[in-house]
Amino acid sequence: MAEGYGVNWGDELDKLRTYLRDPSGNIWTDAFLRHSWNDVQQNFQHRTRVLEDVIAQRVPQLYHFGYMHDWEFALLPTDMSQFYQCLTRHGENIICHRWESQQLAGTTVDISDCGAHFTQAWEAYMGLAPGEVIRMKFPQNFNSVKFIAYDEEPIGGTTRKAVQSCDPSYVTTEGAPVAFYDYGETDNSYVLYPKPSVAFQSDPEGDGVAFYASGDTESDETGVIAVRDDSTPSAVFGASVDIVHTENNVFLVYDVSPNDLETISDEPDYPPFLRKYIRYGVLSRAYGSNTDGKIQSLADYWGARYDVGVECVKRYVRNRRTDRDYRLTTKGLSPRRNLRHPRLPDAYPAV
Amino acid sequence: MNSIEQKVLELVGENVDAPDVFTEAGITQIRDSVNDAIQEIAILTGGLKRQYFLPLRAGQAFYRFRLQSGYFGWVTDAWDIVRRARLEQTDPIRLSAYDPRWMTGSGYPDAYMQLGGDVIGFYRKPSSSSGGIELTIVEIPEEYSGDTDRIKLRDSFHSAAVHFAVGEFWASRGDAKEASAHGRMYLDALGMKEMYSTSRWATPSLSTGKEPWPRATA
């Protein structure tokens, strides 16, 4: 089972029902158990921080569909997941250029625009200066950034306020990104500053513009369309290795917020050897809920097992750092000097 | 059934030679519990280690591991085979403070980092596709499914796994008292009872028998 886990919510549900002695769902409905599972898995992650992931995102990102109005969202295909809400909402209308808002308001149309507008993010890299910032989406299960780099250079977090304060042309400024800022939590997106001067990758495949390079695969589950991973299966060593490319990509190490389970075939984000702890938490909540099946002693038992599991997994997380060498340093002093330049003596005469 | 499953059935009062409930199909619940116990003990003790050889590729610093049998736990040793040198464990935050351009240079790997559950990164990234790293990895064993499958658990922990499974069995039958008793026996057998208090409200903490205040000496 190890390589592709292959255990889904339906399997976990069967186990839960065995321990609840409610095989037909006479007391606890499937929806109740699923909602409890989603709740407990968030709680478990908050307490242990065990889930962390690494991803290389291509720039620009690719989306299945672009849409404009909020109401369009409900009509988007359910078998796809990556959608880009483009252009700008203005009342009941969608506008491209900023002067259009003046046109609608009946005032003098005199606001110039700084560039072209687009419905898909890749269009912003087709030679014209963009008229709006280009959003990148964090992975679907993203919670917080632990480390981020663009084209092998670490970049820092900032705010739009700081960027606007120092660069009036921040929308069109182009160069190697030095920072990123959060665009919106609900949209789960961020903006690289300045805009990367990207040339599409060579080695084109498929139709139209060179969206895909060799080795890119499409991934709906991680919430990112193109994940570049050459695969080097090496069964003789008992392990296969994917290579996470960092060149010309955003390289992101992030804290995971587990995806909610929705259907019977969904697979939990936790590896199988950690799912039992989520099960313990769900059992505790089920037995403790105010239903005909309430048994407080069992709620306490499974609750205790859940707490032991939390401590156990905290130790597991600590174990990942067992090979670290720790050194004692003086508080307040930089542990190392990054750049070692020759120093002139204090008494050296000023010129 | 294997020896652990047999002991579990003995403790729950089942006829081991001619089981009426825990037949070939009915043993699944017990088997799942034993598998859970084995994996939890592996997490706590890091008892199952294996060596893997990672062939390096020029310019590639990060590698995601997919183990064929078992789950990636953590790395305990990283050894440069060609240079015969041990790699130091580090992390991207420390490296960025040390050298913001740490990802761009290439050369011999001097340090490694574990990112997420299964990604290994190297500083510096290899300059050529020759050479390799020998990694000693703690594995979380995959679930066994057959009577004769190897049990990847030290013998002295078998009784712990038995009590774990018996505790879960009684919990599934609604007997919280018996389940808790076997849960404590599991922790006892594992030698970790002190780490986890039997009361869920108590906070484990370090302490000595000394008085916390200074005493005047004569």
| B63 and B171 in a common domain | no
Determine the pLDDT at residue B168. Answer: 95
Q: How many structural domains comprise chain B?
A: 2
| B60 and B8 in a common domain | no
| B119 and B66 in a common domain | yes
pTM to 2 decimal places: 0.81
What's the 3-state SS for A184-237?
ECCCCEEEEECECCCCCCCCEECCCCCCEECCEEEECCCCEEEEEEEEEEEHHH
CB-CB neighbors (< 8 A) of B93 in chain A:
146-147
| B87 and B25 in a common domain | no
| B62 and B32 in a common domain | no
Higher-confidence residue: B130 or B164?
B164
Q: How many CB atoms lie within 10 A of CB A328?
A: 4
CB-CB neighbors (< 8 A) of A251 in chain B:
62, 103
| B168 and B98 in a common domain | no
**Of the candidates A192, A219, A216, which has an alpha carbon nearest to the alpha carbon of residue A202?**
A216
Smallest Cβ–Cβ distance between A298 and the set B64, B100, B171 belongs to B171
Smallest Cβ–Cβ distance between B176 and the set A273, A301, A319 belongs to A301
- Cβ proximity of A33 and A16 under 8 Å: yes
- The residue count of chain B comes to 218
Determine the pLDDT at residue B208. Answer: 65
DSSP character at residue A139: P
Query: Which residue do the tokens 């199988």 mark?
Result: A272
Cβ contacts below 8 Å, chain A against chain B, sum to 177
Beta strands A239-244 and A83-85: pairing type? Answer: unpaired
- Whether residue B155 is contained in a domain is answered as yes
DSSP character at residue A333: S
From B125, B140, B155, the end of a domain falls on: B140
Q: What is the mean pLDDT of residues B46-62?
A: 87
| B165 and B134 in a common domain | no
What distance in Å separates the CA atoms of residue B36 and residue B39, rounded to the nearest whole number? Answer: 5
| B133 and B62 in a common domain | yes
Determine the pLDDT at residue A227. Answer: 45
A27-30 contact pairs (CB < 8 A, 24+):
A27/A291, A27/A292, A27/A293, A28/A286, A28/A289, A28/A291, A28/A293
- Whether residue B69 is contained in a domain is answered as yes
| B67 and B134 in a common domain | yes
- Cβ proximity of A274 and A177 under 8 Å: no
Beta-sheet strands, E only, within chain B: 49-55, 62-67, 71-80, 85-86, 88-89, 106-107, 111-115, 119-123, 125-126, 132-140
Determine the pLDDT at residue A240. Answer: 58
Distance, in angstroms, between B152 CA and closest chain A CA? 14
Determine the pLDDT at residue A231. Answer: 44
**Of the candidates B76, B89, B55, which has an alpha carbon nearest to the alpha carbon of residue B135?**
B76
CB contact under 8 A, B62 and A298: no
Distance, in angstroms, between A263 CA and closest chain B CA? 23
Distance, in angstroms, between A139 CA and closest chain B CA? 14
Greatest CA span in chain B, whole angstroms?
A: 74
Determine the pLDDT at residue A340. Answer: 63
Helix, strand or coil for residue A66?
strand
Determine the pLDDT at residue B88. Answer: 92
- Cβ proximity of A312 and B43 under 8 Å: yes
Pick the residue from chain B with its C-alpha nearest to A12. B32
From B102, B123, B140, the end of a domain falls on: B140
Higher-confidence residue: B190 or A286?
A286
| B10 and B34 in a common domain | yes
| B107 and B59 in a common domain | yes
Helix, strand or coil for residue B80?
strand
One pLDDT digit (tens) per residue for chain A, 351 residues: 444 455 789 999 999 999 999 999 999 999 999 999 999 999 999 999 999 988 888 788 878 888 999 899 899 887 777 788 899 988 888 999 989 999 888 898 888 888 899 998 888 888 888 999 999 888 888 899 999 999 889 999 999 999 999 999 999 999 999 999 999 888 889 999 999 887 655 443 433 344 444 455 544 444 344 444 444 444 344 555 666 667 778 888 999 999 999 999 999 999 999 999 999 999 999 999 999 999 999 999 999 999 999 999 999 999 888 888 877 767 776 655 555 666 777 777 765
Interface of A with B in 258-317 (CB under 8 A): 271-273, 276, 295, 297-298, 300-305, 307-309, 311-313, 315-316
| Burial bucket for residue A286 (CB in 10 Å: 0-12, 13-18, 19+) | buried
- Whether residue B67 is contained in a domain is answered as yes
Q: Interhelix angle for B28-45 vs A296-319, to 10°?
A: 40
Is A18 in CB contact (< 8 Å) with chain B?
yes
Sequence-distant (≥ 6) Cβ neighbours of residue B83 within 8 angstroms: B108, B131
What distance in Å separates the CA atoms of residue A275 and residue A45, rounded to the nearest whole number? Answer: 12
pLDDT tens sequence across B92-116 = 988 998 888 999 889 999 999 999 8
Q: How many CB atoms lie within 10 A of CB A217?
A: 11
- Whether residue B205 is contained in a domain is answered as no
CB contact under 8 A, B89 and A324: yes
Could you give the C-alpha distances from B179 to A67, A270, B47, B170, B171, in angstroms and in order? 55, 26, 26, 5, 5
Percent of residues, chain B, with pLDDT higher than 70:
88
Neighbouring-strand partners of residue B49 = B138
Neighbouring-strand partners of residue A142 = A256
- Cβ proximity of A278 and A41 under 8 Å: yes
Could you give the C-alpha distances from B103 to A151, A153, A157, B60, B106, in angstroms and in order? 9, 7, 18, 10, 8
What distance in Å separates the CA atoms of residue A77 and residue A114, rounded to the nearest whole number? Answer: 33
- Whether residue B113 is contained in a domain is answered as yes
What distance in Å separates the CA atoms of residue A65 and residue A347, rounded to the nearest whole number? Answer: 68
Domain that holds residue B170: 3-45+145-190
Q: Is the pLDDT of residue B136 over 80?
A: yes
CB-CB neighbors (< 8 A) of A321 in chain B:
89
A99, A100, A106, A109: CA torsion to nearest 10 = 30
Helix, strand or coil for residue A277?
helix
| B58 and B122 in a common domain | yes
- Whether residue B201 is contained in a domain is answered as no
CB crowding B182-218: b at 16 or more within 10 Å, else e:
bbebbbebbebeeebeeeeeeeeeeeeeeeeeeeeee
What distance in Å separates the CA atoms of residue A123 and residue A198, rounded to the nearest whole number? Answer: 12
Residue A130 in tokens: 């963009």
- Whether residue B212 is contained in a domain is answered as no
Higher-confidence residue: A342 or B137?
B137
Pick the residue from chain A with its C-alpha nearest to B26. A18
Determine the pLDDT at residue A171. Answer: 92
- Whether residue B210 is contained in a domain is answered as no
Average pLDDT score over chain B? 86
